[in-house]
Amino acid sequence: MLYCPAQSKMASIQLDPTLLNNIKFKTVVVTGAAGGIGLEIVRLFESHGANVVMADLERARPAAEALIATLPDPSRVIFVPANTLVWAEMKEMFKTAIKTFGGVDTVIANAGVMESHAVLDVETVDANGDLLEATEASKVIDINLKGTLSTLRLGLHHIKDNDKHPDGSRGSIVLIISTSGYFGGTGVAAYISSKHGITGLLRASQLEATKHGIRVNAVAPFVTPTSMVGGFASQWAASGLPSNTTQQVAQVVATISEDPNRRGACYLTCGPIIREMELTRNALLSQWLGNDVAQLMAGAGSFFASMGGYPLPRLEALQS
């Protein structure tokens, strides 16, 4: 597809700061809340009058409590230790949020990690010369994808019975994807695969979320100075390429969480550049693959929506 400046301009997003006025008095759950982007998300929501539940591993408690102590109203923010891969801990975290603040209005599925060793390394072998299993890659995929799935499910479960907000929804969930969920050229195989999985989760969740009146959207940050980019941060800055600040990403996350017109959207954010990716992709499908494919996909979408979703098979592999 040829580059078209008009299309690029159409996809540009100008954040509406007045949307942040809707945050006041809401209760927000943030996973991976005690570091990097998570800390700034907490700080921003609290500064606009929200109650915030900081969910993170127990070892992150000192960082979480240090932030809480600096906030204007620390009584509106609590830290609850919860591993997104431990279902019992996540259930208890949501129950604590509801017990403390009366309900949950917004969920930010922010927890995520990146591998520290090359997953596609085929040279690291054991004493017998056999290739070693990429166990770290499995952990990355579990935390990033399975942890996000659990957070999404619990968010849908606890938000679905809320009274409707003035915008007509019962609440909002934001998935943190990363641009690696769309562009995979860096070779970081486990992280990229898991983030592509969250992009799929964003798309797959729309039917169920809409049924319950819940808006599910996503944000895909580009390079942001957190621990994940520590190995190349100075070189990146010297290159002159743009990057985010954690505060900028938090602003984008909070804004899309409160935008009543956004369902199934994903904002790429990179410094001054903010682009909507999902709705743009759908709009350009005919130019990408042709009108016949666009019509085929639209027809298939309508077909499965009329059935309430894809009729699920019973496979022998899953019965054991």
pLDDT at 308: 87
Instruction: Let me know: does 43 contact 250? Beta carbons within 8 Å.
Output: yes
pLDDT at 25: 95
- Taking residues 14-32, report their average pLDDT: 96
Higher pLDDT, 116 or 92: 92
Please say if the pLDDT value at position 156 is more than 50. yes
Kindly report the pTM of this predicted structure: 0.91
| 197-220 pLDDT per residue, tens | 999 999 999 999 999 999 999 999
Catalytic residue annotation: 191
Structural domains in the chain, CATH included, are 16-283 (3.40.50.720), 294-320 (no CATH)
Higher pLDDT, 230 or 184: 184
Higher pLDDT, 265 or 315: 265
Instruction: Give the pLDDT band of residue 100 (cuts 50, 70, 90).
Output: very high
- Taking residues 233-252, report their average pLDDT: 79
Please say if the pLDDT value at position 5 is more than 70. no
Instruction: Let me know: does 21 contact 48? Beta carbons within 8 Å.
Output: yes
- What's the maximum distance between 2 C-alpha atoms anywhere in the chain? 65
Q: Report the chain's terminal Cα–Cα distance, integer Å.
A: 46
Distance CA 289, CA 1 (A): 9
Instruction: Let me know: does 264 contact 174? Beta carbons within 8 Å.
Output: no
| Residue that the structure tokens 């968010």 belong to | 155
| 37-46 pLDDT per residue, tens | 999 999 999 9
State both tokens at 100: 């403390």
Distance CA 46, CA 39 (A): 11
